[in-house]
Amino acid sequence: MQNFDLIIIGAGRASNIAAKAGKLGKKVALIEKLTLGGTCPNRGCVPSKLLIGYAQKIREIKESKKHFIRAIVDNIDQEEIFKRTNEYIYSVEENYKKKFNDNVTIFKGEGSFLDDKIVKVNNTKLTASKIIIATGTRPAKVPLKNAWTSDDIFPLIKEIPESITIVGGGFIACELANFFDAIGVKTTQLVRGDTLLENEDEDISEIFKEQYCKNVNVKFNISIKNALYKNNSFEIELDNNETYKNDALLFAIGRVSNADTLKLENTNIKLNEKGFIKRDEFFQTDVEGVYVVGDASGEHMLQHAAAFEMNHLFKMLFEDEKEPLKFKYMPHAVFSHPEVASVGLTEKKAKEQNIKYVTSTTSWIASAKAQALKIKYPRTKFILNPDTYEILGCHLIGYESATMIHQVLAIMHLQNDIRNLKEMLYIHPALNEALLPAAVQAVKAINEYKESKKI
């Protein structure tokens, strides 16, 4: 039995806790069954955005005629695109190792519990007074042999397909389908329902669908009836009896908990109905001294949320932080074409929660910088409390939405009042200036609502 001050199962964002605890002189065991760094730098956020960067540039070139420029894409070196992305992925492990001093012992293997405070990895038993579970999630199991998940793209060691079918209508499917289509891979996207990005505000989702489908071939209200893999390709039959062949078939149909690998039946740690690990407001499981952070809890499933949680847990364990972490707002973005960013309530959620609200939706066209983009669809939508001027939700679609929404986030975190966004000084004619007429219109909508109630 090896004794440690801290055991961490999962070397993604929790690697930062391991590194900082090691620098404090704590003896740390860090367990990782795959690659140090976890999903984000190896199989998720970072490599996917590296790929999407190529897609974005290709889209800009192809759409240059809007700017009265005749341009063609003469050649797309797909091999080099994946080579460069793979090279980044292969560098992650060594870069993470550099974070740790001699107090951190790395165990490569699958960790599991023998009891509440004993963890087994590679036939070695470890124990510690503090244990952190940060095992994240994995793609939902594909229903067909030889089909891919996003994990098969990062790194892509198989032959680059000439054609691909991607199943799903969420952000992973829409980011990957946009990429493959942009680089010249014949892409078909299959969606069981009639919407894309169904968790976004409905108005934003509708605009996204209209613009996105101008590039990507999406079939709605459809499922795969049968798929036969032979001669290195799929013969796909849809439930409307349509048949076709594709080189690759990728499922992006959600992610599931890795808790089933931990043998929690040997402990008093409990799971929720979706198979994620239950915790209290201090990240603690049903076992004192055993904590769960990041996607393993199933609460936010976002890298920036996980990083925030890890930082707070470190302060609780080693800097005498007494207060629980409470996220005021949880933003997210979809890095497809077009780009979407969102924070807070959608209009549908506001209705479901029976919250009093008003909405205001504004085009970006008042901004000269936005006009220069030669696109008409960008929108800002606010969901607002008419009594307090509080921003309940903000939803953007358009170029650099994920960047622009940070200005709204700052207002929401500091003093959440839409009038603050209206009264601030903007650089003219920066793209963010599109938020000024949006804020003016939002305040006007609230005032009109107030006036209507006086009648």
For 252-319, the DSSP string reads ---EEESGGGS-GGGSS--B-TTSPBP--TTSB-SSTTEEE-GGGG-S---HHHHHHHHHHHHHHHHS
Domain 339-454 matching CATH 3.30.390.30: the answer reads: yes
Locate 422 and state its tokens: 């209206």
- In this prediction, residue 143 carries a pLDDT of 87
Contacts of 264 (CB under 8 A, 6+ apart): 113, 270, 271, 277
Give the residue from 422, 450, 420, 425 showing the smallest Cα distance to 436: 422
Domain with CATH 3.30.390.30 in the chain: 339-454
Cα–Cα distance for residue pair 247/163, rounded to 1 Å? 5
Cα–Cα distance for residue pair 160/170, rounded to 1 Å? 23
Radius of gyration (C-alpha) of the chain in whole angstroms: 24
Q: Assign domain 150-253 to its CATH architecture.
A: 3-Layer(bba) Sandwich (3.50)
Are 172 and 152 a contacting pair, CB within 8 Å?
Answer: no
Domain with CATH 3.50.50.60 in the chain: 2-139+256-318, 150-253
- In this prediction, residue 455 carries a pLDDT of 57
Residues of the chain scoring pLDDT < 50:
none
The string of pLDDT tens digits covering residues 285-314 is 999 999 999 999 999 999 999 999 999 999
Angle, helices 303-318 vs 15-23, to 10°: value is: 30
Locate 252 and state its tokens: 């992006």
**Residue in this structure with the two tokens 């960790």, named with its chain if needed:** 111
Task: Domain 2-139+256-318: give its CATH superfamily.
Answer: FAD/NAD(P)-binding domain (3.50.50.60)
Contacts of 152 (CB under 8 A, 6+ apart): 158, 250
The string of pLDDT tens digits covering residues 415-444 is 999 999 999 999 999 999 999 999 999 999
Q: What pTM did the predictor assign? A: 0.94
Cα–Cα distance for residue pair 296/73, rounded to 1 Å? 43
Give the residue from 306, 308, 296 showing the smallest Cα distance to 272: 296
